[in-house]
Structure 1
């Protein structure tokens, strides 16, 4: 990315991290000392480079791990409330934001509606019998990233995953326990609030997944 786009990216991410709120075009222009038209051009470039995601109304809905609407996960710190973009992202936020040592993550089971919550820290995975189900393999997340994120959910159990799949007609995805989900999320977004930020290449991503105990099926093969 060029310096202008990186400045806008950093302003978006730091604002979301600090406040849980997406800044407007004019606010970003003031923060970055750019013209509003330049900010808009940079946001388009950031979307092309997969740093932000627009919804059908051309509004930013995701700047991973942060979301700007409800994706079924709330992340509550002592001073800030965020939307997590999916199970992976929700568990990543407490690892990424510098001023919150822990966060209360809440969601519901898609199969039965039961409420679940965990206090997530950077020290150890939360206890719990629940499992995360990723409907879309990682290699295909960006085919439809909003759909993929909406279907990375936490269920009461593997049996509830099966019940939900039978009811919805979806194919079985990848299931992991909370400890694996926590390891996956812990370092995936490191550096996202710093500059310059470099996305992992596919080979690096595969190595990272293997390091936290995820098999080739998680990637999609």
Structure 2
């Protein structure tokens, strides 16, 4: 068992069963002891490939999926998932085959909206995604980072939301740009030979999708993202 095949087992479970595998299920799948599965999960978590529950080795998050309820629900056919944020939810759609709907509330508190994607085409493009947390700090508290990467009607609504909620404004991007970005970012997440993007690779992907400015700046000296 290594990061790649463990990650593939987790993502495939989300896609097929709408939930992550339990530690005991992973031990059975890989024909290993429970403690070996726990150690492998902790290693994957250390490499930012998964987030485990505090005081437990059960899976909480394997981006773009969440095992706990969030403000974003992605539906494809008879399958449903929670996406960690707007960016993650778009990633879920890509992994689910490119046809789905995303249901969420603007700013997680205002109007409920539905985003439709059909055969890889984003049909609802009149929205923006707000990224308030600098990417270099994203994993300082990744649960919080995801919780505030939200969908809005426009930049004026972002400004009002930030003022009311006391959250510093970050970068605001059209949903279509984030959709295209998510397609590349999550393209290999279900692959058996998955590897975590290196910092250098992340910088290159950001640049290809014209994601620039302080929010997107990563240090080449960082060891992981």
Same fold (TM over 0.5): yes
Deviation digits for residues 49-87 of structure 1 (CA, Å, limit 9, x no counterpart): 111112445342210011111221111011311111111
SS at 1:195 equivalent: coil
Paired residue for 1:44?
A: 42
Secondary structure of 1:180 counterpart: helix
Give the match's secondary structure for 2:138: helix
Q: Hey, what does 2:221 align to over in structure 1?
A: none
**Cα-Cα RMSD:** 1.9
Following TM superposition, by how much is the alpha carbon of 1:4 offset from its aligned partner in structure 2, in angstroms? 3.9
TM-score by length of 1: 0.90
The answer as to 2:99 corresponding to 1:102 is: yes
**Residue aligning to 2:80:** 81
Give the Å deviation of 1:140: 1.2
Task: Pick one of 153, 156, 163 that aligns with 1:156.
Answer: 153
Contact 1:75 1:81 in 2 (8 A): yes
Q: 1:112 to 1:83 in 2, by over 3 A?
A: closer
Partner of 2:64: 65
Per mean C-alpha deviation after superposition, the further-off stretch among 106-115 and 141-150 is 106-115
- 1:16 is aligned to 14
Query: Is 1:90 matched up with 2:74?
Result: no
> Quick check: 1:170 aligned with 2:167?
yes
Report matched runs for 1:137-156 at 5 Å.
137-156=134-153
Counterparts of 1:112 and 1:193 in 2: how far apart (Å)?
32
Judged with a 3 Å threshold, the aligned counterparts in structure 2 of structure 1 residues 201 and 120 are, in CA distance, closer, same or farther, namely same
Q: CA deviation at 1:111?
A: 7.0
**Match for residue 186 of structure 1 among 183, 187, 193:** 183
Q: Does the residue aligned with 1:75 lie in a helix, a strand or coil?
A: strand
User: Do the aligned residues in 1 keep the contact of 2:155 with 2:172 (CA within 8 Å)?
Assistant: yes
Q: Give the Cα separation in 2 of the matches to 1:122 and 1:34.
A: 40
Rounded Cα–Cα distance in structure 2 between residues aligned with 1:167 and 1:111: 13
| TM-score using structure 2 length | 0.88
For the residues of structure 1 that align with 2:28 and 2:108, how far apart are their CA atoms? 45
The alpha carbon displacement at 1:195 in A equals 2.2
CA distance in 2, matches of 1:24, 1:46: 15
CA contact (8 A) 2:94 2:120 kept: no
Runs of 4 or more consecutive aligned structure 1 residues displaced over 6 Å after TM superposition? none
Unaligned ranges ≥5, structure 2: 219-225
Residues 156 and 57 of structure 1: CA distance in aligned 2, closer, same or farther (over 3 Å): farther
Deviations 1:30-63 (A, max 9, x none): 2222222211111111111111112445342210
